[in-house]
Amino acid sequence: MVPFIIFWRRFGRKLTEAFYGAILSTVIVITYGTFSEYYLENPYAASGIHSLFRSLWWVFQTITTVGYGDTPIVSFWGRINAMVIMVFGIGSLGVFTASIAANLVEMNVAAKIGERRIRMKDHIIVCNHDEGFSEIVGELNENGKEVVLVDREDPKQSKNIYTFVKGSCSTESDLDNAGIKNASKIIVLPERGDHDASSADAKTILTSMIIRKNKSDAYIIAEIFKEENREHAKQAGVNEVVVRGAMSTLLVATAVTSPGVSKLFYELLRGGDGYRIMEYSLDSRFRGKPCIDIYKETDLEGRVVLGFRTENDIKIRPSNESVNVWNSVIVMEPRNR
């Protein structure tokens, strides 16, 4: 398979180099053929060419090898000229169409092996994949988000929709290929196969630093193994740090004293029972207004405000009189909104 890909890329590159020359030569042949055949054939009554349009029609029939036969060439020099047009016209058009086909195949091959440049906007980049990747992408798909996976190996999950880019998020060129400049959020998952938690967290933090360097306004979500590395991740520019197992540990502990609470949170996070938790940017008209104004409007929309968020702080449902100083609101809402 690899030798074939190398051969096809070299062949396709040669065709691509000839692409513009083929366009130019095809245009020249069409122009020359139209005027020359009209000049040579128009004087003969038995000829099928007595207008420039009819001559153009004949040229297109000839170079595309359609040949309806409804436009006869009768003169000696007209036929000699026609043979020249056939040779150069069919060859030029052949190279032109072959170049287009080569580019299409090249894109298809690049897509299959993950070597292409992403042209998306507001997409989500996921760095690395693990056992939770399928669930993450499934949830993002349900919310209408386009996902780009950057990893050394494609997990080939047919039930989820994502675009694969072969590489590493710690390499700037691979981040560029994933369209980091236009991405809305970047999720950094631990690399597979690294059994040492501290080493895995160090790689995650380093990757986050490289992402921040390439996109200063990137919103980075990183998963780490050890709670003591949370602050290091924050200093590296991570906006949200998720400690693997921390949530499940809290839910287990809560389930002992309040069994229904853990189930409630689980169902809300997975969107069970028709509800989900979502975050939205707050309209500027609410800036400086009491929170009761926000509560009333969201209640009318069938949503319940759970809390507010700024860049570095979350406030769980402040009092009605509290003045809004937050950028985003976190709500519970029907899943089919």
The band of 56, judged by pLDDT with boundaries at 50, 70 and 90, is very high
Sequence-distant (≥ 6) Cβ neighbours of residue 222 within 8 angstroms: 187, 188, 204, 205, 208, 233, 238, 240, 241, 242
Percent of the chain with pLDDT over 70: 85
Same fold, 124-244 and 247-334: no
Q: Higher confidence at residue 247 or residue 9?
A: 247
pLDDT at 124: 92
Burial code (b: 16+ CB inside 10 Å, e: under 16) for 114-150 equals: bbbebebeebbbbbbbeeebeebbeebeeeebbbbbb
Would you say 126 and 149 are in contact if contact means Cβ atoms under 8 Å apart?
A: yes
Residue range 126-185, pLDDT digits in tens: 998 888 888 888 888 887 888 999 988 888 877 788 888 888 888 888 888 888 998 989
pLDDT surpasses 60 at 108: no
Question: Which has the minimum average pLDDT: 19-33, 52-66, 219-233?
Answer: 19-33
The band of 198, judged by pLDDT with boundaries at 50, 70 and 90, is confident
pLDDT at 106: 57
Q: Quick one: 247-334 is in which CATH superfamily? A: Regulator of K+ conductance, C-terminal domain (3.30.70.1450)
pLDDT at 10: 52
Burial (CB count within 10 angstroms: exposed 0-12, middle 13-18, buried 19+), residue 308: buried
How is the chain split into domains, by residue range? Answer: 2-113, 124-244, 247-334
2-113: CATH number: 1.10.287.70
pLDDT at 134: 85
pTM across the whole model: 0.59
What are the tokens at 74?
């009768």
Separation of alpha carbons 202 and 71, rounded Å: 75
Separation of alpha carbons 109 and 6, rounded Å: 11
pLDDT at 210: 92
Q: Average pLDDT for residues 88-112, to the nearest whole number?
A: 68
Q: Average pLDDT for residues 94-118, to the nearest whole number?
A: 62
Residue range 227-273, pLDDT digits in tens: 899 889 888 889 888 888 776 677 677 777 777 777 777 777 766 66
Give the CATH number of domain 124-244; options: 3.30.1050.10, 3.40.50.720, 3.90.1150.10, 3.30.930.10.
Answer: 3.40.50.720
Separation of alpha carbons 168 and 250, rounded Å: 33
Would you say 288 and 324 are in contact if contact means Cβ atoms under 8 Å apart?
A: yes
Would you say 317 and 292 are in contact if contact means Cβ atoms under 8 Å apart?
A: no
Q: Average pLDDT for residues 15-30, to the nearest whole number?
A: 75
The beta strand positions in 111-175, using DSSP E, are 124-127, 147-151, 163-166
